Structure 1
Amino acid sequence: MIQLSQIHHVAYRCNDAKETVEFYQEMLNMDFLVAIAEDRVPSTKEPDPYMHLFLDAGNGNILAFFELPTKEKMDRDRNTPEWVQHIAFQIDGGEEALLAAKAELESKGLNVVGPTEHGIIRSIYFFDPNGHRLELTIVKGTAEQMKQLKAVAPAMLEEWSVTKKAPKHAAWLHEEEFSGLD
């Protein structure tokens, strides 16, 4: 049986390796760990020069990027709304830290959305120079709330797979946010 210990890294494409490293260093204080560059892809052996970057996202989490200079400029999947695919980072320090992070990012010229309430978390959102949506979040949920969400998850998935309509088992997560919108 496979036993995962953690995600080693998650890799995304970037337009410019140097610009990407500088963004994550300046905006999110990430440490630049490793750069690997080759003229051939090790797994497939195809000729395709690349720069592969690794940044420390804290607690053993690594965020990686590839710059691919011989490929067309990257774009995003136009069939997927830009809010769907994102990288979420947890920060400590509660609401005060989240608001301070928002103010800091805005002072550095970023457009930041939020805070947005999600019941068990609260988040802010912004984009990196490659168009990847980023989220900074604080955890607000209790152990009991997480237990409740885990308990209803299978029923929600089953209902969704049949109806393709939002099940209401966990509607309490956004009730305050959406009250008065109907």
Structure 2
Amino acid sequence: MPKVNKVAHVVLAVKDVMASVKFYTEVLGMEAVDLRENHKACFLSFGTQHHDIAVFEAPEGAERGEIGLNHFAMQIEGGIPELSQLKQKLEDMDATITHTTDHTITKSVYFLDPDGNQLEIFAEGFDEPSEALDFIRQGTYRVKQLELDVPSAG
């Protein structure tokens, strides 16, 4: 059975991305490793992994409940085969899988818990955290759909 081994990052929906960036960099000493050119999102790091916190602009007029935690992410031991097995297990349990994404830095499955909280389970896309951090600092980070084939039994 695939084993999830740690909580890896938190994504927050915020009213003002730049105010959040200022807070997290000045108060917590984080580095803004990838501020999107439209200032609608920013990935922040304590300096050892690609990101620890990400902030995304909440929709205009968002109220309490729409601002706050977007999802939290957990890392799986292993790689794509284990992620595929976990996706199959979620499907077998009739869990709602919202999407699968290839972030380059991670390969991810997003799904909802029974209360509708969004979770992400991912496999690392780089062998070393420093490689992922260097990649995200380049500002070329983009996402695409991830196709996961569930391995056959045997």
TM interval, shorter chain, is 0.3 to 0.5
- Find the structure with the greater CA-based Rg: 1
Name the structure where helix makes up a greater proportion of residues.
1
- More relative contact order, 1 or 2 (CA 8 Å, 6+ apart): 2
Q: TM-score, normalised by structure 1?
A: 0.40
Structure with a larger share of its residues in strand? 2
Structure 2 length-normalised TM: 0.46
